[in-house]
Structure 1
Amino acid sequence: MNRKRILIIASSIILSGIIFVVVGFMTSQGIQVNYHEIDKDFDLKIAQFSDTHFDNKYVREDYNVMVDTVNDEEVDLLIFTGDMFQITDVSLELEESITSLLSEINADYKLAVLGNHDYFGSTTLTNRIITILEDSGFTVLINESITYVINDQTFNFIGFDDLMMGDSNYSDVLGEVDENAINFVLSHEPDTFDSILNTDCVAMFSGHSHGGQIRLPIIGDIYNVEGARKYNDHHYEVDGKDLYISFGMGESVIRVRFYNRRQFEIYNYS
């Protein structure tokens, strides 16, 4: 093989690599909405967002698409499945900005559970996160359940505490499954899904996995964190029960997404 041919091959490989990386970053910009049309014998529209990992680089305008989309959809329920901040030193200005953002999102009901990052830092920070959520209209479920009548049907929502940083004994709260209602579970870590398989629950909504955050075409995620080792893709169905995982709105550890846009979910049960 002559020198010129070697240079052509080497240049092609380098150029292909550059294009691959550039496309990976470019396709990860912005926020996308994932729509899920689910055939069930009840009517319920849910919006889910998760893993926002807000930090001092927060820009309100970045979240217009989420606010506008959810408000246009007129959802019955808005759920947040944990990990609000990436930082532990949260300024009062940032706290007020996030409260304002979440207050602008309209829904008949709002529910939230905490994630592992919501327990990082001090108890004071955890309490501030709960206050932000409550001041924005959310009910925070920490191994608790709540029942709503929506569209003339009774729904029971169970919220797990965080698997890694909270009280992960879910036996008592699973005892609150209501046989006379349609039961759903909210849990930050998707690997808690197995705990509901022998219950009368329809589905679980989770976050945490970020879809691996760094993904490759065809291959998908290349690393999965603790709490999302078994379940880390968008959807699983086991024994007639569904697990839905949002890949989230932020980044953890490194502020990079690759072939993996920030995203939120709209679920339309009908």
Structure 2
Amino acid sequence: MKLIGIFGLFLVGIFIYNYIQISKFFINKLSFQTNKLSKSLRITQISDYHSNNLINKKRLLDEISQFNPHIIALTGDIIDSRAEEIYPTLDLIKELTKINSNIYFVIGNHELRNINGNTFIENLKEVGVTVLDNENTIIQIEDEKVNICGLSFFATKEDYENILAKINKDYFTLLLSHSPNRIIRYTKGIEDLILTGHTHGGQVRLPIIGAIVSSGQGLFPKYDKGVFNIKNTILYIDSGLGNSLFPIRFFNRVQICNITIESTKNS
């Protein structure tokens, strides 16, 4: 009986730990430097939300509001492929537009697979979100101009090259891609910062080792989570705010990322 009681407590502990990992989001804070800006640029990245109704949405909005980003990047899988209700997630994004209307979205594989995915994307446009599907744009922030490029989930190398051929390389260039799997092969180092998601950091991670498995990269993937330098370009892979397949996380709490790009012009 004693062993059964200990095992029961162990299971309860695992359940509580996992619940914290999948619902109590962490805010990752990153800082990079550039000589292409004269002032700091603040970016909030939200990736792989997967219609996660377990998180405290009010706290999420409060934290983002306090950071006061110039740009909010939604890097795909904001809804889950199995989600029948898209409007709770749209309501959250409507609240984000009240913080800042400079919201940019790239399509993830779960939006493509959801039966209401196209409706979700059209509704994003209606509330003022800019959808970048193999497209680029320029945003004016005070006296600064920033290139923002967005790759589709199934973008080819030609798609990538066409987008980058249109940019002004004197401006800071931000590229959004749901998955890092193609961009790590395509990048020519023209971008200053690439933001991606998709991997969930493997969802289950081991200390020192990292992710056990990642979609598109197999076992013990190299590009699983965090910051990587590829051809003079900074690649950041966010582990996301939600979960797919199973609501399980281990050593890998759900998260968003607040990124500050510091100017080196006056240093």
- Aligned partner of 1:129 in structure 2 is 120
1:189 equivalent in alignment to 2:186: no
RMSD: 2.8
TM normalised by structure 1 equals 0.82
User: Quick one: structure 1 residues 238 and 170, their matched pair in 2 at CA, closer, same or farther if it must change by over 3 Å?
Assistant: closer
- Aligned partner of 2:107 in structure 1 is 114
Q: C-alpha distance in 1, partners of 2:128/2:103?
A: 6
Q: C-alpha distance in 1, partners of 2:151/2:144?
A: 23
Residues 33-182 of structure 1: matches in 2 within 5 Å? Answer: 33-41=27-35, 42=37, 43-54=40-51, 58=53, 62-88=56-82, 90=84, 94-105=85-96, 106-122=99-115, 125-163=116-154, 169-182=159-172
Report SS of the residue matched to 1:149.
Answer: strand
1:25 equivalent in alignment to 2:18: yes
- Give the residue type in structure 2 aligned to 1:207: G
User: Quick one: structure 1 residues 73 and 121, their matched pair in 2 at CA, closer, same or farther if it must change by over 3 Å?
Assistant: closer
User: Quick one: structure 1 residues 227 and 52, their matched pair in 2 at CA, closer, same or farther if it must change by over 3 Å?
Assistant: farther
Question: Any unmatched runs of 5+ in structure 1?
Answer: 1-9
1:209 equivalent in alignment to 2:199: yes
Q: C-alpha distance in 2, partners of 1:50/1:147?
A: 22
| Superposed displacement of residue 18, structure 1 | 6.0
Report SS of the residue matched to 2:86.
Answer: helix
| Superposed displacement of residue 204, structure 1 | 0.4
| Superposed displacement of residue 254, structure 1 | 0.8
- Aligned partner of 1:6 in structure 2 is none
| Superposed displacement of residue 27, structure 1 | 5.2
- Aligned partner of 2:265 in structure 1 is none
Who wins on radius of gyration, i.e. which is larger?
1
Report SS of the residue matched to 1:173.
Answer: helix
Q: C-alpha distance in 2, partners of 1:257/1:267?
A: 23
Q: 2:81–2:111: 8 Å Cα contact kept in structure 1?
A: no
Q: 2:46–2:73: 8 Å Cα contact kept in structure 1?
A: yes
Q: C-alpha distance in 2, partners of 1:136/1:256?
A: 32
Report SS of the residue matched to 2:240.
Answer: coil
| Superposed displacement of residue 23, structure 1 | 7.5
1:61-109 Cα deviation digits (max 9, x unpaired) = 622222111111111000100012224462xxx3332222111121251
| Superposed displacement of residue 136, structure 1 | 3.4
Q: 2:41–2:260: 8 Å Cα contact kept in structure 1?
A: yes
Q: 1:27–1:259: 8 Å Cα contact kept in structure 2?
A: no
| Superposed displacement of residue 147, structure 1 | 0.3
User: Quick one: structure 1 residues 266 and 179, their matched pair in 2 at CA, closer, same or farther if it must change by over 3 Å?
Assistant: same
TM normalised by structure 2 equals 0.83
Q: 1:113–1:187: 8 Å Cα contact kept in structure 2?
A: yes
Report SS of the residue matched to 2:59.
Answer: helix
| Superposed displacement of residue 195, structure 1 | 4.5
1:213-240 Cα deviation digits (max 9, x unpaired) = 0112333211111168442121101232
| Superposed displacement of residue 199, structure 1 | 4.2
Residues 226-241 of structure 1: matches in 2 within 5 Å? Answer: 226=216, 229-241=221-233
Q: 1:45–1:75: 8 Å Cα contact kept in structure 2?
A: yes
- Give the residue type in structure 2 aligned to 1:75: P
Q: 1:208–1:227: 8 Å Cα contact kept in structure 2?
A: no
Q: C-alpha distance in 2, partners of 1:246/1:190?
A: 10
1:200 equivalent in alignment to 2:193: no
Q: C-alpha distance in 2, partners of 1:238/1:167?
A: 19
Question: Any unmatched runs of 5+ in structure 2?
Answer: 263-267
- Matched positions, count: 251
Q: C-alpha distance in 1, partners of 2:83/2:241?
A: 20
Q: 1:156–1:182: 8 Å Cα contact kept in structure 2?
A: yes
User: Quick one: structure 1 residues 167 and 240, their matched pair in 2 at CA, closer, same or farther if it must change by over 3 Å?
Assistant: closer
